[in-house]
Chain A
Amino acid sequence: MPTKLSLSSSVYPYEDVTALLDTATKDMEVGQLIQIPSFSLFDAMCAIVIMDPKMDTGMVMDDIVSRPVFNINMRVTPTEFIWIFDNILIGQMTWLSGHALSQTLFTSCHILRLLEINEYDDDEEPSGPTKDAPQPPREFLVAVLKSCVLAIAKSCSLIWSEMRKGQVYEEEDFMTNKFGVSMFEDIPTASLVAMLDQAEYWMETEGTQWIRDHCGDDAGEILKGVMERIDYCRSSYMALFQVIAPKCSLYPQAGPQLEAMRTHISGLKATHALGTKVEGAFDHTIHRQLVANTPPRAIALLTFDETIEQLAQMCTDLMSIGKALSFTDTANLVNFFILFGSQKPAPGAFPRSILQTVLYEDRIVMGSRKVEDVVRESIQETVSPVSWIFDNFDVLQAKLGGAGNTTPASESQLLESIPELAEDDISSYKLRIQTNVVMFVEKATKPFVDTLQIMGQNTSRQRRNLRKIVQLWETLQEQAEVFDADVHAVLEELRIQQLGPTGDEDGALEQPAAPFYFVSWVYHLKLWVMEWLLFLGSELELYSPFEYSMVYAYVDSVLGAHSQHLQRIKSIIESEVLEPEPVVPIGPIPTKETHEESGIKETSEQKKKKKKKKKTSASSTTTTTSTTTEKVIEYAKPKKTILMWLYLTSVKMQLTRGVFLVLASLTKAGHLTTTPPHIASHGLNDLETLFAHRFRAFRLLSSPEALTFEIFLSRVDCDGLDSIAILDYATDYFSEAQRALDQLLLLSAAEAQVLLCEDAWRKDIKNMIKVCIASKIGIAGLQKDARILELRKSTLEAQKRKAAASSPGPKLTTAQIRSSSSSSSKASAPVLKAPVRKVVFEWKYHSWWPVVTLAPPSS
């Protein structure tokens, strides 16, 4: 129960044990300690050093005692109201940005002692500088200020009830401790609205008149300032009320309120300067009286401008969540979550919590769709399974127990019930598959929802929790294999039933490879989670420069596996003979072939080498290169979701590989190292250990095949190419990526499936384009570096020497190039004389890919 603050007397009886302790400790030597084993670090840090003014927050300080108590019933002028209001707002937003109520909102005397504001008690004298000025009517205090303060307090209480759900992290994201202080939960919303109405009515009549009579030239502005604040209070309270209503029942109505709130926020900003300070209205020592065991820490309140900025951002975020409620399909929803979670600056803790609440409540997604439907749709969009496997989905799912009360018993019951449902053998086979599908979808809801939920967490937590999410998908993948095997078995029986047991030659040829629907879907999402996890390491600045090449090689290999996988899904879908379905076309997947025709000047020799290289070091991802020009009229078409994923994943891989190749070339030239002396200086770490440590979350996964340390080393070597040649490849990758990204920008929001987050999506694409452009410019500079040129010379000389020595003819075979170059680079790195330069990593374009350059040579 909320207790009223009693500042003066303690109700607890106490006994002074100082003397007792003094006697008892006489026998102890200095340095002896009596300690209960359970006395933890936490206890130690919370311990109070009684009567030490720094460490005993409960100690009543003389200056606090002697200070006059703020007169809560002191009348306020309209401009004083503006000042008080704005500072309370600062307190609210500072609280929302993660600080304690005791140091923010509760520093306002009007918040803490609101109910002491007395309507009829009108006998006190004005004080201070206002003495000579005309007394403002009491209504500015008792009608206007009181109702507005109440509105803010109650808004905060709504926010508090959301934050108590524990979707964001206590202390880290937010502090919910109310210190037992009431936020007027028991005053009904209707009363608040009535009070605000009354304030507004009074303002429109007498208030306006008074301001006109007494405020001179500023009257118009002051009037506006007061009215804006009343209006802001009403719309912000109503908006929050609707946003927070259970099961999103009122969220759709919140849109207009949030819009209004945002308009009033600019009104607040425009009139803020009119405020007049009220001495004593905020007590920044209140923390001492509310909390006993922790010293107050220096906190910086937000400035008013920051307050306004964050408020407006909060409105925008809540509005975008509101719009997402009416999502058309899962692909758009998933994209919305991805882009919401990667906004910069990150959304505040409150919208992040709302996002998670709205996503999933009582097995309902976004307040309207059954979670099973959403998962089913995701599977359909991704792997386009034969359509009948989802027939009867709703019926079977209802049988299975609908609202999530799946038990093994109900599953087996369901299976038993099949014969009665079935009309003939075929449909009974189909029914068995359909039942499996229902059960699989049920199993998949947790990983699916949990993954989206992560977007509502702070980025540090995202990364830490994604490691667990990878495991969830891994486990589901194992289960998916069983389901797929079952599906295959039944499909096979179906085929035999239809075609007879002896498949004739033609039939055997036509029979496509059985599609692994479930595994494919799961594996796709698992790979995506892995990529995201690795990129977050960059975003959170966890990697040191010497680790970058290892990290980007690893990300490259995961992205490679991913685009290969997506390509495979696409091919399988295309191989299925089905009635065609109209699909919005998007440009062809960027291919290696197209980039070779690009305007980059290459000698034929370079091209030859390039081909060679693609087969070796770039091997894991060659499948992205398949052409897409074949006619697919009579075949099923993959849904655009899978095409978009394939497209974007390929682009990310090109960017990643571009970055990796730049790093590799700088490593070769000795500007960068993967083994700085310090990592081994104390015999503690080496790169291989770090490699194992950094990627340990993936080491035990069944797939994809992990990049090993040895393969990483050979990748860095790049087949013995010299830095300039490696940089040429890097340029190609950046050009390719840029071209593909330019194509993406041509898509409409509907085509790109970003209807709910188009702006953020375009911005992200543009940022990637900037990385490409800046990298290409950077590379041009790198290719003039003295060391890199020197390396080229010595590599060419070594090759010539090798060629002259070993081959009789003038023609070089690729095998020879390969053997000569790799041996030269492995065995004896050439000694370069040109100076080593400092490597510069520029993250300003995108937090996932740096632009890598060299600092000007120090002369």
Chain B
Amino acid sequence: MPPKSKTKSKPKAKSGGPSAATTTTTTTTTTTATAPSDSTTTESSHGSSTNTPATKTKTETTSSSSSSTVPSMATPLPPIDYVGYESEHQLQGMMSLIENDLSEPYSIYTYRYFLHQWPKLSFLAMDREKGTCIGVIVCRLEPHGHSARNRGYIAMLAVSKEYRKRKIGSTLVLMAIEAMKSAGADEIVLETEYTNQSAIALYQQMGFIKDKRLYRYYLNGVDAFRLKLLCKPELLALDLAPVNA
């Protein structure tokens, strides 16, 4: 998630003119991808695309994956629908979900900033029976830096507490990765508090690495990790600018 707005006060009335520019009407596409999920199977369920070189898998332990974390079978999972962002009507549900997990609220404009410019890069997980939003991911895709790479950015991710540890978060991240990749992402980044074990573990399972540490990135004084997923390794070889800022 991005750092909560910093105090660097900007002159409020800066870009002066009354130039009320573009209206962005959200075109709606129902990317209803019924999840590969709701299953309580452990590991492999989230391998949606190219599968793993199976040869060595037996010998894995380093990551926590082997300490089987099968969610309690006692409570059978309600069916979950995964849908794309469609309209402002979904916004309240998304906001209250995210606000539950954050100490400080984002302004509604922050949500709109993402959702109106990149509506197709946001997804919701819905409890089909209750019709409530229980998981959400919000992203952006923009050229970045002097190499003008297409950088995808996962701005927000949250899964409602009672629904966690059931691959809902992973599924949302996968959907977002696929969407950003097909929209031309060269790399995908995000920031998360360096103490956020669950998020870091989730992303590392997707192949993200910790690319940087950001000192006191959040204003509560906590460091962040910038995690990065390289989508187009070929680019590395071409990248002649050795240092990026």
Interface residues of A (CB under 8 A from B): 28-49, 54-55, 97-100, 169-173, 175, 177, 291-295, 297-299, 458-461, 463-464, 467-468, 471, 540-547, 670-673, 675-686, 688-690, 692-694, 696-697, 699-700, 836-839
Contacts and interface: CB of A to CB of B under 8 A. Distances in A.
Contact of B26 (A31, A98, A540, A690): A31
Contacts of A697: 242-243
B27 to A, nearest CB: 10
A175 B62 contact: no
Contacts of A42: 5, 10
B219 interface: yes
Contacts of B89: 30-31
The secondary-structure label for the interface of chain A is loop
A44 B205 CA distance: 32
B104 A295 contact: yes
A460 B6 CA distance: 19
Nearest to A839: B62
Contacts of A32: 23-25
A35 B236 contact: no
A678 B207 contact: yes
B62 A460 contact: no
Contacts of A680: 50, 52-53, 207
A47 B109 contact: yes
Given A173-B216, A684-B231, A98 B19 contact: no
Given A31-B87, A171-B6, A836 B60 contact: yes
Contacts of A694: 209
A298 B220 CA distance: 7
B219 A297 contact: yes
Interface residues of B, number: 83
B75 interface: no
A836 B66 CA distance: 10
Interface of B: 2, 4-10, 12, 15, 19-26, 46-54, 56-63, 65-66, 87-89, 103-110, 112-113, 116, 140, 174, 177, 194, 204-207, 209-217, 219-221, 223, 225, 229-231, 233, 236-237, 239-240, 242-243
Nearest to A36: B21
B110 A99 contact: no
Contacts of A99: 221
B2 A679 contact: no
Nearest to A688: B233
Contacts of B220: 297-299
Nearest to A841: B62
A35 B59 contact: no
Contacts of B214: 172, 460
Q: What 6 pairs between A and B have smallest CB-CB spacing? A: A683-B50, A45-B5, A670-B59, A31-B88, A689-B233, A677-B52
B190 to A, nearest CB: 14
A45 B2 contact: yes
Nearest to B116: A33
A663 to B, nearest CB: 11
B21 to A, nearest CB: 5
Indicate the member of B62, B103, B116, B194 with the most A CB atoms within 10 Å: B62
A682 B50 contact: yes
A35 B5 contact: no
B209 A547 contact: yes
Contacts of A30: 87-89
22 contacts: A31-B87, A31-B89, A33-B116, A41-B113, A44-B109, A98-B221, A171-B6, A171-B7, A172-B216, A177-B9, A463-B213, A542-B210, A670-B59, A673-B62, A676-B63, A678-B52, A678-B207, A680-B52, A684-B231, A686-B233, A689-B236, A697-B242
A171 B207 contact: no
B99 to A, nearest CB: 9
A45 B213 contact: no
A679 B149 CA distance: 22
Indicate the member of B20, B26, B60, B89 with the most A CB atoms within 10 Å: B60
Given A297-B220, A299-B221, A682-B49, A464 B113 contact: no
Given A298-B103, A461-B215, A700-B240, 10 more contacts: A44-B112, A46-B9, A177-B7, A670-B56, A673-B56, A676-B62, A680-B207, A681-B50, A684-B206, A696-B236
